[in-house]
Structure formats: C-alpha cells, structure tokens
A and B are shown apart, each in its own frame.
Chain A
Amino acid sequence: MTTAQRLRITGGAVYDPANGIAGVVQDVCIEDGKVVTGLPVGAPRLDASGMIVMPGGVDIHSHIAGSSVNHGRRLQPEEHAVDPVPAPRLDGPDGGGGGPARSGTGGTIPSTFATGYRYAGLGYTTVMEAAVAPLFARHAHAELDDTPIIDAGLFALLGNDEYLFRQIAAGERARARNYAAWVLRAAGAYAIKVVNPGGVELWKRGAPPRNVTGLDDPVGSTAVTPRRILETLTDAGNELGLPHPVHIHCNALGQPGNAATTLETMRTLAGRRAHFTHLQFHSYGGGRGKGWQSGAKDVIEYVNAHPEVSVDVGQVMFGPATTLTADAPVEHLLHASSGRKWVNVDIELETGCGIVPYAYKEKAALAALRWAVGLELFLLATDPWRVVLSTDHPNGGSFLSYPELIRLLMDRAYRDEQIKRVNAKLLKGSALADGLAREYTLNEIAIVTRAGPARLLGLTEKGHLGPGADADVTIYATGGDEATMFATPRYVLKGGTLVVEEGQLRRAPAGRRLAVRPAYDDAVLRDLKRYFDLHASVSFENYPCAGSA
C-alpha cells in the first residue's frame, strides 16, 4: 500500500456524527486529499472490515509550540532523558523538516517532531495551540513548521493587552475591534484568546493583591475591568465574523469557589457566542477558608441551558503534567505552595507566562477533586456538540492520556473501580461520588473528539467525512478495551496520505497552518504606529509575521 491519489476505505463501521452516520458500514472514498462521493470500481481499496472509521481527531486546546512551551521544554531535561523518541522508519521524507525522519524526546512537552508524530499516532490530525503572545508568534510558527503532519492554528493572547485596555478606557469600541483584527493577522492567528482578563496585568504591576478578585476590579483605569475586557473581545470576535468565537480562560483559575466567577462571566456574556476553556479548572465550590468541593453541577447546568456557550473540559489525569499558562499569578501561587521549580516571564505590553512542572496523584485530595470535577462535567453535559474533550495539554496531563480518558467516559465499571482508588476526602456531595451511570457511546466520543471541536472552530472541512471534507481519517481496530483501541489506531490518513499503517507511522507530510485574515479599518494603523514608537521595544514594521498582516 502506498500513498494513493485515490482510495476506497471499505467494510468499516463509519462514525461521522456531523453527517448523522453512527456505526453504519459504508465506504469512504478519497481523491486528491478530499472525501468524494464515489470512485471508479478499480480504485485502490483499504479493507477496514471489523474496524471503526472516524474523521481525524481535532484538538481545540493544547500547548505544543512557541516561546512558553519551549521554556517548559528546556526546564525539564529529566523527563526528556527517560522518554527517547528514535526516528520512525518512514517511507519517505518528513515533510515538516524537509528531510529524513527525525528523532526527538517525549515527556509532557515533547520535541516538535515527536509532537507531530505522537499526535498523528493517536489519530489526531488538527491541533490548536491555545496561547501565543503576538510578540512571540513568529517563534510559534517556526516550531509549527517543525511539527509535521498535523494542521495547526494558534490563538493570540489579548486579554491583558495594553493597547486594547487604552481603547476600552477611551470607549473606542470600533478601534478595539480593528486592533483585534490587525493582531490576528499580524500574528497569523486563528482566534482571540483571553486569559485571566486584567489579572495578569495586575500581577505584573506588583501591588497587592497582584490579581483581580472580581469582574469589576479596576485594571489601571476604572473603565477597564475584567467584565469590560470580556465584553469588548467577545463582541469583537463575533462582529469580525471569526470562525471560532473568543476563547476564554476565566479569572480565578484553580481557586476554591471559582464556579461563581465562571457563572458570572457566562451570565455577563449571555446571548453572545463564546467558548470557555478548561472548564474543570474553573468549576470549584467552597471558597477561601471554606474549603473545596465540586461546583461542576451548577456550571454545566448553565452550559446545558445556553446554546451560545461552548466549552472544553481540561480534564486532569493522574500522572505527570506541566502547568504552563499565560496566567502567571496562578503559577506563582503554585510555586509558592508546592516548592517546585518555576519559570515566570513578563511579556511587554501583552501578557505573562508561568510554568511549574507538576504531578497529579490519586492519593492527593485536591488532585482527586479536580479529576472528579472534570468527569462530572463530561457526564452531566447534555449536548456533546458543545463540550469538547481536552486535558489542556500538558496542564491536566499529556494528550497521550486521551485514550484513558475516553475509557473513563465509556466504561462505568472501569470508572467506578478508579473512583475507589482515589482520595475521597473532598468528593463529598459530588455527583460522581453519588454514582453517575452514564456511559459515552462511540458516536458521542466521535463528537467530543472531532465533529464537535471542528464545528466550534468553524473548520468546515474538518471533523466529518462528507464530500468536500479533508481526507483526515482515523481507523481503529476493535477487540481490546477502549483505551487500547483509541491509543493505537490501525490506520491514519492525513489529507489523503496514509500516515499510520498497521499501527506504524510511515509517512509524515507537512501540516498546514490555519489562520484567519479578518478585515480592519486602516485608520488604526497610524495610531498603532505612534503607540509602537512610544512604548514598544520592537519596531512596528518588524512586529507582524512574514506575509501575515
């Protein structure tokens, strides 16, 4: 079997929820990298009898490339030393590197080539890098150029941006929108990302409490508050007609009682399309001095009732992780409480960066609570199209733990066994401890891992197998448990190229970059140029990535 311009996948049970197909045995026809309605009888065939056929996986939120990710990589030689990745034996050149297959190292933050190989080996073919400071976008693109196979986009951090704050303070709504559009183009980005709006700026200012404590805290000017930042950027994203709405990491990540903040944020934006990311880290009850408990039920019930809201879960999985975020004040707290090594980088005029390597242990009460909250969100969600599977890689755990997570969702007996192993101290009153019977079906898994995220990202040619779709296809052999099945796809096609064959990575074509190019009013440029000349440490002309703005 070689790379074929044409291929007919026959005999497999197809799960293509976007087209209403759930386990029907039918052919999938591929021509020139796209799914087509039919092929001549003599076209090459791939026998998928007895197997499961799905679109390639789509990761809506991951951290795989760029300056912060690379700081995290450099910080952990110990995890790379114990997870070597020899070069795979490819049938041709690595299209990412342009030469032979490349070796690398793994761990929670693999080297770039290993990242591409491992995502593809997992059956994922599209990944969003969820947090890039526009100042560092050029670096992120260079890393993605060295990350083969997967199509990738990046989200531009805007929630603590000095120029944006000035427009909010001045009531310059249109200019804020034009600026957002310009930044997206300058950074070659796909979506607007908000991280702890206002909180990172207060961390950088240094005066206590070094973070925001509520949605109406002033950030410099009383006119600039988390609420105003959220409203401004959410409206900007929707008015620009971006394929993916603003991608929000709420205030108060990881804190007890933060479900109230999350709900207030959602209510503030009620009626507006918005995506709330790693919701697990934002769904805790209790409060300072009152301890911890799950707040998942209240949060997911709001999501269930509001079709304009979408989320990804950010599940915590037991094992090693690297917490890595633009939410720098959170990482300082984690460093102070855990004593673990810590990177902080304040990034001029835009955002911050904090990194602490971490491990979630079953016997640790708080880790067990986070794990349970994530599962509750999944199991209490009523619309899988709006609740995406993620671990906020590598924050909640590696993307390599997705198969284990899928098993937890699909197999109640297995899940109940795992619940018995964890520290239950903080699980009192949690829906999970009370027993949730739900088991995800294969069709629902296909929704939360590909069809749903593709739809939420506005990627019309991803996440489905209808005519015109990109021929990104993952084929699983049945027989073992769900974790084994999803960890080791038998075949993976990317853009029609057979990248995994008989469970082995055989080809590594270059991935494509996904980016938006929203229109903006040129009038913003004069003001921006003046702002850069006064305050920035790089020239205005050198800020945009080549060929983007």
Chain B
Amino acid sequence: MSAEQVVEHVTCLGCGCACDDIAPLVRQNRIVEARNACPLGRAWFGDGTVPQEARVGAHTVSLEAALTHAATILTQARRPLVYLAAELSCETQRAAVGIADRLRAVLDSATSEIAAAVLAAQRRGRAAATLGELRQRADLVVFWGVDPAERYPRYTSRYAVGPGGLQTPSRTVVAVDVGDHRGPGDAEARVIISADVEVGALGVMRAIARGHAPPEVPALRPAIELARRMMQARYVALVHDAEPDGTPADPDRAEGLIALAQALNGPTRCALSTLRAGGNRSGADAVVTWQTGFPCAVDFSRGYPSYRPHDGAAALVARREIDAMLLIGSPGSVPEPVARGLASVPTVAIGPYASAAAFEPAVAVDTGVAGIHEGGMAFRMDDVPLPLRPSVAGPPAAAVVVRDLATRLVSP
C-alpha cells in the first residue's frame, strides 16, 4: 500500500447537501486534504483523527466491559430515552431503533428540532423534488429567508443555481428577506417582507395562486408581486431552511410555505426545497419512519410505537421523567434542551467523540464517524440515499458497537 492515497467519490456529511464528489487525500491514515470539499466540508473531515476510547466513568476499560455496564444501566432503567444524534449511518440508526423497541424506551432524534415542519407536512403533504430535478427544471429560484452560502455552501453551485439544466436555458434568482433572515446577496431581485407579516403574506400568495384577487394592502404588495412572478415561471424552486438558527421562526411558516408550494402547482409547477443539516439527520427521519410508522418522538412504553410529537425528548428531560439515556451519535450535535438532561441522568454515550463529551457519561464508547471511518448508507437532505466510503481507519464502527450492545440487553 502506497504512503499516499486518494479516495474517490466520497460522500460528505458536513451539511445536508451530501456532495458525493469529495476526494480525500490520505497519508498515513490522516486526511491531508479533502479535495473538492467546501470550507464546511473540510472542517467536517478534519484530519480524520478521533478519540478511540471506552470508558466507565473516568476509567478506561475494554469495549466488552463498557458495553456490559451500559447494558446494566439501560435494562435497570424505568424510563429510558434513546436519542439518535448526528453522524450515524442508516445501518446504525436501524440497530438503535431496535434497542429502543426492546427497552420500551422513548426514541427521539434531531428530527424533533424541526417538529413544526414535520407536523405541517403530516397535515398537508408537500410538493417537493430531488435537488437534481431543481437543477434540470427550475427557471425561478426563490430563497425564502435563507442564504445557502452560510450553512449549505455548495447548494447553489451543485444543484439549484449554477449548473445548466436540461429544461432551463436560464434562471432567475430571487432573494426574500424576512426580518433578519436574508436571502443571497447576489440575487437578481430582492423582496423584503417584515417578519410580523410573513405568515399572512404566505397565505395571500397562496390565495393568489389559487386564483383569488389580491387585497389592497400596501405592506403585502411585494409579496403579491412575487406571487405573480412565481405564477409566470415554468417551474419554481422555493427554498427554505428547516434548521433552527437561534432566531425563533414562526411555527406556522413551514405550513405556509408548504401550502404555497402546493397551490402553485395549479397555475405552474413548484417544488419546495427544504434545507437540512448534515450528519445523516434525514436518515434518522427515514429509518424511524419505516421501522415505527412515525418520524420522531416515538414512545415504546406500551410495547408498540406511540407518537408524541409535542412531548419528545426535550419535554421529558425538562420534566425529569427520564432516568437513563442512551445517546447514539455525536454528543456535540445534541440540542441544548436535551443536552441539559445528559448531565442529570446516567447516560451511555456511543458515537464519535463520546469520550470527549462536555457532560460526564456513565459509559462512553468512541466510534468512528459515518462517512469518514465507516461505510453504509446516508440520506441527502432531499432523501436521496448515498453510499458512504470510509477514507481512514478509526475506532470500532458504531453499527458494530450498537448491534453488540443490543445482544446484551435482556428483555425487561
């Protein structure tokens, strides 16, 4: 084996774009350069080094001893929580849901962070497209309160704006600024909508798309004009960011966007593109759905899945209802309200950087990062499944560790 090697066609999970053209240059089991990756992707790959420990409390132990202890904690718990954090392959997620089922635990994931959007889509459905379809068809791209350059750097160059499409000789980009949420700075046109009228504006735009006459409200004039422009396009890509960003968004925004995108399929074609973060978050949504029938916030305590979308991990943690936790995935990706609970109950952490978690897990088992050290499958933000190609060797694979733990659990 040569000292230096380029691994081709690697899928990056640094964000939900899941660019699969990355070519990490590897020297002595270190990533020297993640070729083709954006800055966010380069940071995600790093040099490929991760901690490789198994610990009980502060003591380094064998993997065997760590998992035995973990099994004891989990089987003795009365109300355990299994949380699927980021950086897991679908294979690991599948095994993890099996553990939650067996423990009659509550199961949750990052999907609950976008519960408003999930619930809106369950009420209405959605009009969507894969990212490649936007590239082929969209002649009008509307960024609704988001500039993808910040959190999804290659979204425009790979999918929605840059590459020419088979059905689009040209396309126009419109930035919609909603309060502090700004669209791309280099858009051809800019529409400014104040945050307090956003949901109302979406409703009016939908009504126009459905053939109603627009109201004479000056504050809504930009939105009305935008609706007309969208109706004149052949295929509209309406892009929004589902991920939280610190500024609370109106919970009705997601439903307003869904309804508008659906209504535009009367006069023209429209797809709503929902930006999602990386680490195979979309995979957790899909896997939990196919194994339980619900996308997140599943309670197995009755011996079968019950859906608790308004009473997920964060709420249970806040009520101190949880008495043990199995965190699978990267501890750093756990949202703050759930992370608070990690310190207060015995926690088994399995995943990349588990031993370096900010809280003190009762048991920590470091694993590799899906897509850097481990293969398997992950989902792009538009649910397109992609293979993961490991570039460097690392700690034990998460899928193997989680399956091993599963075999040690005695039915309650």
| A residues at B contact (CB < 8 Å) | 65, 67, 70-71, 73-77, 80-81, 84-87, 97-100, 102-105, 107, 109-114, 135-136, 138-139, 142-143, 146, 162, 204-207, 332, 335-336, 341-349, 355-356, 535-539, 541-542, 546
Residues of B with C-beta under 8 A to A73: 289-290, 293
Chain A nearest Cβ from B88, distance in angstroms: 14
Residues of A with C-beta under 8 A to B9: 539, 541-542
Residues of B with C-beta under 8 A to A80: 292-294, 305, 307
- Cα A67 to Cα B21 in complex, Å, equals 23
Asked if B332 is at the interface (CB within 8 A of a chain A CB), the reply is no
A99, A139, A142, A348: residue with the most chain B Cβ atoms closer than 10 Å: A348
Residues of B with C-beta under 8 A to A97: 94, 98
Among listed B76-84, B127-135, B338-346, interface-contacting one: B127-135
- 9 inter-chain pairs at a CB distance below 8 angstroms, sorted by A residue, are A73-B289, A84-B306, A102-B291, A135-B384, A139-B286, A206-B137, A342-B262, A345-B130, A537-B158
Q: Which 6 A-B pairs have the closest CB atoms?
A: A348-B132, A537-B132, A105-B293, A80-B293, A206-B269, A346-B129
Residues of B with C-beta under 8 A to A76: 122
Count, A-B residue pairs, CB within 8 A: 193
8 A Cβ contacts from B246-295 to A: 262, 265-266, 268-269, 271, 285-286, 289-295
- Cα A336 to Cα B133 in complex, Å, equals 23
Given contacts A77-B309, A138-B386, A205-B269, 9 further A-B contacts (CB under 8 A): A70-B289, A70-B290, A73-B293, A74-B294, A80-B294, A98-B95, A139-B377, A348-B132, A537-B159
Given contacts A206-B234, A346-B129, A537-B384, contact A104 B136 (CB under 8 A): no
Could you mark each residue 382-412 of chain B with 1 if its beta carbon is under 8 Å from any beta carbon of chain A, else 0?
0111110000000000000001001100010
Could you mark each residue 119-153 of chain B with 1 if its beta carbon is under 8 Å from any beta carbon of chain A, else 0?
00111111111111101110000000000000000
- Cα A74 to Cα B290 in complex, Å, equals 8
Could you mark each residue 166-184 of chain B with 1 if its beta carbon is under 8 Å from any beta carbon of chain A, else 0?
1100000000000000000
Chain A nearest Cβ from B68, distance in angstroms: 18
Decide: A348 and B133 in contact? CB cutoff 8 A: yes
Among listed B51-59, B296-304, B318-326, interface-contacting one: B296-304
Residues of A with C-beta under 8 A to B271: 344, 346
Given contacts A70-B286, A70-B289, A546-B387, contact A345 B129 (CB under 8 A): yes
Residues of A with C-beta under 8 A to B166: 162, 535
Decide: A111 and B122 in contact? CB cutoff 8 A: no
Decide: A205 and B167 in contact? CB cutoff 8 A: yes
Decide: B130 and A341 in contact? CB cutoff 8 A: no
- Cα A207 to Cα B166 in complex, Å, equals 15
Chain A nearest Cβ from B317, distance in angstroms: 22
Residue of B nearest to A93 (CB): B407
**B interface residue count range (under 10 / 10 to 19 / 20 to 34 / 35 or more):** 35 or more
Residues of A with C-beta under 8 A to B137: 204-206, 346
8 A Cβ contacts from B363-386 to A: 377, 379, 383-386
Residues of B with C-beta under 8 A to A136: 383-385
Decide: A146 and B290 in contact? CB cutoff 8 A: yes
Chief secondary structure at chain A's binding surface = mixed
Q: Which residue of A86, A100, A539, A546 is within 8 Å of B102 (Cβ)?
A: A100
Residue of B nearest to A79 (CB): B293
Residues of A with C-beta under 8 A to B291: 102, 104, 111-113, 146
Chain A nearest Cβ from B304, distance in angstroms: 4
Decide: B90 and A343 in contact? CB cutoff 8 A: no
Asked if B11 is at the interface (CB within 8 A of a chain A CB), the reply is yes
Residues of B with C-beta under 8 A to A538: 20, 132, 384, 386
Asked if B44 is at the interface (CB within 8 A of a chain A CB), the reply is no
Residue of A nearest to B375 (CB): A546
Decide: B125 and A81 in contact? CB cutoff 8 A: no
Residues of A with C-beta under 8 A to B8: 541
- Cα A208 to Cα B98 in complex, Å, equals 48
Residues of B with C-beta under 8 A to A539: 9, 20-21
Residue of B nearest to A336 (CB): B266
Q: Which residue of A65, A70, A111 is within 8 Å of B305 (Cβ)?
A: A111
Given contacts A136-B385, A138-B377, contact A87 B303 (CB under 8 A): yes
Residue of B nearest to A78 (CB): B122
Decide: A103 and B305 in contact? CB cutoff 8 A: yes
Decide: B126 and A343 in contact? CB cutoff 8 A: yes
Residues of B with C-beta under 8 A to A346: 128-130, 133, 137, 271
Asked if B235 is at the interface (CB within 8 A of a chain A CB), the reply is yes
Given contacts A136-B384, A348-B135, contact A84 B265 (CB under 8 A): no
Asked if B198 is at the interface (CB within 8 A of a chain A CB), the reply is no
Residue of A nearest to B411 (CB): A100
Decide: A349 and B136 in contact? CB cutoff 8 A: yes
Residues of A with C-beta under 8 A to B131: 348, 537
Decide: A75 and B305 in contact? CB cutoff 8 A: no
Residues of B with C-beta under 8 A to A542: 9, 11, 20, 386-387
Asked if B101 is at the interface (CB within 8 A of a chain A CB), the reply is yes
Chain B nearest Cβ from A114, distance in angstroms: 8
Decide: A138 and B133 in contact? CB cutoff 8 A: no
Residues of A with C-beta under 8 A to B127: 342-344
Residues of A with C-beta under 8 A to B285: 74
- Cα A86 to Cα B90 in complex, Å, equals 23
Residue of B nearest to A341 (CB): B125
- Cα A204 to Cα B127 in complex, Å, equals 12
8 A Cβ contacts from B68-105 to A: 90, 94-95, 98, 101-102
Residue of A nearest to B268 (CB): A206
A100, A103, A110, A162: residue with the most chain B Cβ atoms closer than 10 Å: A103
- Cα A231 to Cα B131 in complex, Å, equals 31
Given contacts A73-B293, A142-B377, contact A86 B268 (CB under 8 A): no
- Cα A177 to Cα B255 in complex, Å, equals 44
Decide: B135 and A207 in contact? CB cutoff 8 A: no
Chain B nearest Cβ from A78, distance in angstroms: 8
Decide: B386 and A112 in contact? CB cutoff 8 A: no
Chain B nearest Cβ from A210, distance in angstroms: 8
Q: Which residue of B21, B124, B128, B307 is within 8 Å of A81 (Cβ)?
A: B307
